[in-house]
Structure 1
Amino acid sequence: MLKNSQAVQTHSLDTGWELLQDFVFRTTGFPFEWLEELRCTQTLAQAKRLLALEQEQDRLRDRFVHELFPRLIAYEQEREEVGSAVFPTLYKLRKRVMKNRTLSLDDVAFWKSRRYENTDWEHFVDEWNELESRRAEAIAAGEELFQAELARVRRVMMAKVNDPRFQEAVFLSSPSSFQRVIKYSKDWEAKPEPDWNSTARGAERMIFAYLQRFCAKNDTTSFFGPVNYGTCNAAEPRAIRRAFREGNVLGKRRVFIAHWYVKLLAQKLAGRNEILPHLKPRPNPLVRPLDSHTFHFHGLNRTFRLPDAHARVFLALDGEKTVSRVAAELSMDEIALIALLHELKNKRLIDLSIPLSPVRVDALAELRDQLAALPPAARQAGEELIDRLEGFRVLLEHTPYPERVQVWEDVERQLADLVEEDTRRKGGALYADRTALYEDCAGTLSALTIGGPLYRALTGSFLTTLKLLTAAAVLKWMDYQQEGRTLYRKLAADGKVVRYIDMIPLFEQGEPEMRYTRQFQSRIQALLRQRQEEHSGGELHISEEEVRDLLEPFQEEIERALAHLQMTLPSPDIMVAAPSADAVERGEFRLVLGELHDDCSTIFNGFMAYFADDPEALWARFEQRIQRMPQWERMATIITERRNKHVTPELPGHTILLSAVSTKEPAYVIPIHQVEVREIDGRLTLWANGKPLTLYPGDLHSAAHGCFSLPCVVPIAITVSSEQEEADVKRSPRIVVDGVVMQRERWEIPAEHMRADSLELKGFPLFVHMARKQMQFDLPDRFFVKWKAGEKPMYVDLSIPWSLEWMVRVAAQTDRVSISEMYPGPEHLWWHDDIGVHTFELRTGYVYDYSAGLRQKQEARMDRR
Structure 2
Amino acid sequence: MRPARALDVDDVDPRAKPWIERDRWRVSTIFLLRMTGFPSDLIRSAHPVESPVDGESEAAFDERVREASRRLRLLGADPRFREAVFLSNQAGFPALSGWLDGHARRSGNDRQAAITIANYLQRFCMKNDSASFFGPSTWARLADEDAPNITVEPGSDPLRRRTFLTHWAVAALADAFATRPGVLDAARPRRVPTLRIRDGRVTGVLLGGGRWSPATDPTLVSPAATALFDLVDGNTAVAALRVRFTAHGHSGFDSALRELLDREVVTHGLDVPTGISDPLRHLRDLLAGTGDHEVLTVLDGFERDRADFETADLARRQELLTTMGEAFTRFTGHPATRGAGRFYTDRSLLYEDSRKPFDTFTIGGRLREDLSELGPLWDLLWLPTERDHRLTSRAAERWFDHRFGAATSVPFLDYARAWVDDTDVLDAAFDDADDEILAYQREFLAAVLGNSGSADRVTLSPDDVRRLVDELGGVSSSGAVLNVDLMIDSPSVDAIRSGDYRLVLGELQVQRELLSHCALSVFQDDAEREAVVEYAGSGYAAAAEADELVAELVRSHDRKTNVQVHLPIPHVEVQGRSALRGHQPTLQLADLHVRRVGGRLRLHSPQLRRYLRLTTASAPVGFPERRSALRPFAFPSREFALPMPDGVRHLPRVEYGRTVVQRRAWRLRFDDWSDLFAHQAWSAGEFAAARRLARESGLPKRVYVKVDGETKVTYVDFDSVHLVWALLKTWRRRGGGALFTEMLPERQNWWLAVDEERRSCELRFGYTRQAT
Q: Please give the range of the TM-score, normalised by the shorter of the 2 chains.
A: 0.7 to 0.9
Supply the distance in 1 between the matched residues of 2:537 and 2:121 (Cα, whole angstroms): 42
Q: Does 1:804 align with 2:724?
A: yes
| Map 1:338-349 → 2, pairs under 5 A | 338-349=254-265
Q: Does 1:484 align with 2:396?
A: yes
| Match of residue 793, structure 1, among 688, 700, 713 | 713
Equivalent residues in 2 for 1:591-740, closer than 5 Å = 591-599=503-511, 601-614=513-526, 616-622=529-535, 625-626=538-539, 629=542, 631=546, 634-643=549-558, 644-647=560-563, 651-664=567-580, 668-689=585-606, 690-697=609-616, 701-702=625-626, 704=628, 705-712=630-637, 714-719=639-644, 730-740=649-659
TM-score by length of 2: 0.86
1:211 maps to which of 121, 126, 131: 121
For residue 821 of structure 1, the aligned residue among 732, 742, 745 is 742
CA–CA separation in structure 2 for the residues paired with 1:318 and 1:219: 39
- Encode CA deviations 1:145-166: one digit per residue, 9 max, x unaligned: 5455434433321221111100
Point out the structure with max Rg over C-alpha.
1
CA distance in 1, matches of 2:318, 2:226: 52
* C-alpha separation in 2, matches of 1:809 and 1:836: 32
Name the SS for the 1:176 alignment partner.
coil
CA distance in 2, matches of 1:377, 1:334: 25
Q: Is the 8 A contact 1:288 1:673 kept in 2?
A: yes
* Equivalent of residue 396 in structure 1, options 309, 315, 320: 309
**Aligned pairs for 1:489-504 within 5 A:** 489-493=401-405, 495=407, 497=410, 499=412, 500-502=415-417
Match of 1:359 in 2: 275
- Are the counterparts in 2 of residues 525 and 720 from structure 1 also a CA contact under 8 Å? no
Distance 1:672 1:429, change over 3 A: closer
Contact 2:706 2:713 in 1 (8 A): yes
Note the 1:233-632 alignment, pairs <5 A: 233-235=143-145, 237-246=147-156, 249-250=158-159, 252-291=160-199, 293-299=200-206, 300-302=213-215, 304=218, 305-331=220-246, 336-372=252-288, 376-378=289-291, 382-427=295-340, 433-460=346-373, 462-493=374-405, 495=407, 497=410, 499=412, 500-502=415-417, 505=420, 506=423, 507-510=426-429, 511-513=431-433, 517=437, 520-533=440-453, 536-553=454-471, 558-559=475-476, 561-562=477-478, 567-599=479-511, 601-614=513-526, 616-622=529-535, 625-626=538-539, 629=542, 631=546
Q: Match for 1:167 among 79, 82, 86?
A: 82
Secondary structure, in 3 states, of the residue corresponding to 1:783?
Answer: strand
Indicate the structure with greater strand content. Answer: 2
What residue identity is the alignment partner of 2:573? L
AA partner of residue 15 (structure 1):
D
Please state whether the residue corresponding to 1:757 is helix, strand or coil.
Answer: helix
**1:491, distance to aligned residue in structure 2 (A):** 1.7
Identity of aligned residues (%): 23
Say if 1:632 and 1:831 are closer, same or farther in 2 by CA, change over 3 A. Answer: farther
SS of equivalent to 1:155: helix
Separation in structure 1 between the aligned mates of residue 99 and residue 290 of structure 2, nearest angstrom: 52
Coordinate RMSD, CA, aligned? 3.1
Match of 2:14 in 1: none
- Partners of 1:502 and 1:788 in 2: how far apart? 33
Judge conservation of contact 1:266–1:354 (CA < 8 Å) in 2. yes
Change (3 A) 1:147 1:380: closer
- How many Å apart are 1:849 and its aligned residue? 2.1
- Structure 1 residue 183, shift from structure 2 partner: 1.5
Cα distance in 2 between the residues matched to 1:242 and 1:478:
43
Distance 1:394 1:330, change over 3 A: closer
Three-state SS of the structure 2 residue aligned to 1:719 is: coil
| Total equivalences in the alignment | 721
Structure 2 CA distance for partners of 1:609 and 1:733, relative to 1, 3 Å: same
**1:37, distance to aligned residue in structure 2 (A):** 4.0
Shift, 1:267, TM fit = 1.6
Following superposition, the deviation at residue 311 of structure 1 comes to: 2.4
Distance verdict in 2 for CA 1:514–1:32, change over 3 Å: same
- Call closer, same or farther: CA 1:215–1:433 in 2, change over 3 Å: farther
Task: Flag the 1:775–1:515 CA change in 2: closer, same or farther, 3 A.
Answer: closer
- 1:816–1:429 CA distance, 2 compared to 1 (3 A): closer
CA distance in 1, matches of 2:93, 2:123: 15
Q: Is the 8 A contact 1:538 1:733 kept in 2?
A: yes
- Corresponding residue number in structure 1 for 2:37: 29
Q: In 2, distance between residues paired with 1:381 and 1:631? A: 53
Deviations 1:578-597 (A, max 9, x none): 23332222222221111122
| Letter in structure 1 aligned against 2:575 | S
Contact 1:43 1:146 (C-alpha < 8 Å) held by counterparts: no
Q: Determine the C-alpha separation between the residues in 2 that align with 1:289 and 1:759.
A: 65
- TM value normalised by structure 1: 0.77
1:222 matches 2:128: no
Query: Cα gap change, 1:698/1:444 in structure 2, threshold over 3 Å: closer, same or farther?
Result: farther
Q: 1:595 to 1:623 in 2, by over 3 A?
A: closer
Q: Which of 756, 772, 776 in structure 1 is aligned with 2:692?
A: 772
Moved more, 264-273 or 328-337: 328-337
CA distance in 2, matches of 1:701, 1:759: 43
Which whole-Å CA distance do the structure 2 matches of 1:156 and 1:414 have between them? Answer: 39
Does the 8 A contact of 1:501 with 1:673 survive in 2?
no
* Aligned pairs (5 A) from 1:79-228: 139-140=56-57, 143=58, 146-147=61-62, 149-188=64-103, 194-228=104-138
Code of the aligned partner of 1:213 = R
Retained in 1: the 8 A contact 2:45–2:75? no
Shift of 1:502: 3.2
Compare the two structures and name the one with the higher helix fraction. Answer: 1
Deviation per residue, 1:113-166 (Å, 9 max, x gap): xxxxxxxxxxxxxxxxxxxxxxxxx544xx565455434433321221111100
Distance 1:287 1:598, change over 3 A: same
Structure 1 residue identity aligned to 2:71: V
Relative distance call for 1:713 and 1:187 in structure 2 (3 A) is closer
Q: Within 2, Cα distance between the matches of 1:24 and 1:586?
A: 23
After superposing on structure 2, the runs of 4+ consecutive aligned residues of structure 1 that deviate more than 6 Å are 332-335, 428-431
Structure 1 residue 785, shift from structure 2 partner:
1.7
Name the aligned partner's letter for residue 326 of structure 2.
R
